[in-house]
Amino acid sequence: MNACCLTLTGLALCAAAAGAPAWADQPGAPADTLAFSPQAPTAPAAAPDSGLEDGDEWLRAPFGERLLTEAEQWRDDDRDHQKLTPLFDYNRVDPARLGLSYEAQAPGTMFPRLGARVEVATGRKRWLYGAQLEQPLLPRGRVALGVSMVRRTDHSELQQVDDVENSLALLFGRQDYRDYFEREGLGAYVAWRVPDFSTVSVHARNDDYRSLPLWRGTRSFFMRDRVLRDNPQIDEGQVHAVMLRLERLAHRTHRTRAGLYHWIELERAGDRLGGDFRYDRALADVRSVVRLSPATTLVLRAVGGTTTAGALPVQKQFTAGGVDGLRAHAFAQYRGDQMLLGQAEYSIGLWRLHTGALEGGLHAIAFVDAGRAWSNPEHQWDVRRQRLQVDGGFGLGTSEDDLRVYFAKNLQQPRSDFVISVRLQRPF
């Protein structure tokens, strides 16, 4: 009998179809008059903890230290000059991480911008921290000089399930969809904010990478007999690197539902810079939202990575597979020093529900993921020689995108089972 794989917030729960429990009936909405109208389209995931209402949000690819909110977003949100935010994460190496983050900035002035956080990894009794100070060099802050220092529990930038989703997956389903290491270091950069193009910055960093063991005492509320996946070892040592980075955000409002945003980074490590590793690495993640009609939206994502020289340490390798891409494949099933991934989601609003106590709606979703990661000893991005994997399927989502259910299938294996994934945010 075929088995069906259920992924809860990026979490695989496998059960035979005959033995799967029936879903409990949910309490209905209070009796009231119902009014239905066409559903508005959606857009891709906003940065975690943006605090913006549906229909007005900043779209940002989830990369980087995330210590400072971009000045344009901060100004648009009409925030106070300071912000204090509690932090929480639950994973299989810390296991609980508690802390606070703090920001102070006055965009458009010559005052410095400051972002900081402090956390404690309770299980391994380790203090973690991060601080970033950026000083504008010209009025309006278009050119700035910055410094940063961090010690953090980190993971691959391509494993993009956020802290909230991943914590819930571990607490309720005993599954962690990231691999971890500790990174400690400091850096300096100069940034040029080019209007209507990108923020162009040059960085110099020294980072020390350390492996983290699985915390054997990690607990979950349910599925306690499931064996946690081990946290793999990394290539420990120091990385001395310079980077050229381009980052662009997109602003989505109730009037503007389309945008292009990106994260592009070229990195060179070792050689005359010193350190324990030598490589040249490039990674680009480009995303777009296309409003096809008042009720339909097409969301696109393209990711490419290549290594042109040297050897990538394990923690810098590209991965593909799982809820971050190739949704019918296992977590990080493909790994290497080259990568290509394309994703597309088409959503259509079915209806919007209005009652005295509830307002919401439902979207129908069709999607396709294609790509893989691989290694080439000659450092060539030989995508034409690769057998790219293709997954596709359909799903349903709420209008606020706080709940999405996907049914993904490996399209190259017609007899493969559907992988069902439940997400608490848009995947990209």
Distance CA 191, CA 170 (A): 38
Q: Quote the CA–CA distance of 364 and 46 in Å, as a whole number.
A: 20
At 170-197, the pLDDT tens digits run: 999 898 999 999 999 999 999 999 988 9
- Output the pLDDT for position 14: 36
pLDDT at 419 > cutoff 70: yes
Grade residue 73 by pLDDT with cuts at 50, 70 and 90. confident
- DSSP-assigned letter for residue 295: T
Q: Residues 133-161: pLDDT tens digits?
A: 999 998 888 999 999 999 999 999 999 99
Q: pLDDT value at position 321? A: 95
pLDDT tens, position by position, 227-261: 999 999 999 999 999 999 999 988 776 555 668 89
Alpha-carbon distance 428 to 261, whole Å?
A: 11
Candidate from 34-48, 135-149, 306-320, 336-350 with smallest mean pLDDT = 34-48
Element (H, E) at 306: strand 296-310
SS3 383: helix
Highest mean pLDDT among 73-87, 336-350, 351-365: 336-350
* pLDDT range class, residue 32, cuts 50, 70, 90: very low
- Asked whether 153 and 166 are in contact (CB, 8 A), the reply is no
Which DSSP category does 71 fall into? H
Average pLDDT score over residue span 102-106: 94
Residue 39 has pLDDT above 50, yes or no: no
Q: Are 369 and 342 in contact (CB under 8 A)?
A: yes
Average pLDDT of the residues in 54-72: 83
Provide CB contacts within 8 A for 151, sequence distance 6+. Answer: 127, 128, 129, 130, 182, 183, 184
To the question of pTM greater than 0.85 for the whole model, the response is no
Whether the per-residue pLDDT at 198 is higher than 50: the answer is yes
- Band (52; pLDDT cuts 50, 70, 90): very low
Question: Residue 425: its pLDDT value, please?
Answer: 84
Phi, psi of 18 (to 5 degrees): -70, -25
Judged on CB neighbours under 10 Å (0-12, 13-18, 19+), 166 is: buried
Counting beta carbons within 10 angstroms of the beta carbon of residue 42, is it exposed (0 to 12), middle (13 to 18) or buried (19 or more)? buried
For the chain, give the longest Cα–Cα distance: 71
Which range is least confidently modeled, 5-9, 25-29, 49-53, 299-303? 49-53
Question: Higher pLDDT residue, 47 or 134?
Answer: 134
Task: Give the pLDDT of residue 298.
Answer: 92
Residue 41 has pLDDT above 50, yes or no: no
Torsion sign (Cα): 102, 104, 105, 111:
negative
- Residue 355 has a pLDDT of 52
Query: What is the pLDDT at residue 257?
Result: 60
For the cut 70, the answer to whether the pLDDT of residue 35 exceeds it is no
Residues whose CB is less than 8 angstroms from the CB of residue 27 and which lie 6 or more positions away in sequence, other chains included:
none
CA distance 120 to 338: 35
| Element of type H or E holding 170 | helix 163-173
Task: Look over the chain and give the mean of its residue pLDDT values, rounded to a whole number.
Answer: 85
Position 26 scores a pLDDT of 39
Residue 50 above 80 pLDDT? no
3-state secondary structure of 172: helix
- pLDDT category of residue 374 using cuts at 50, 70 and 90: very high
- The answer to whether 249 and 44 are in contact (CB under 8 A) is no
User: pLDDT at position 24, please?
Assistant: 37
At 179, list the tokens: 């691999």
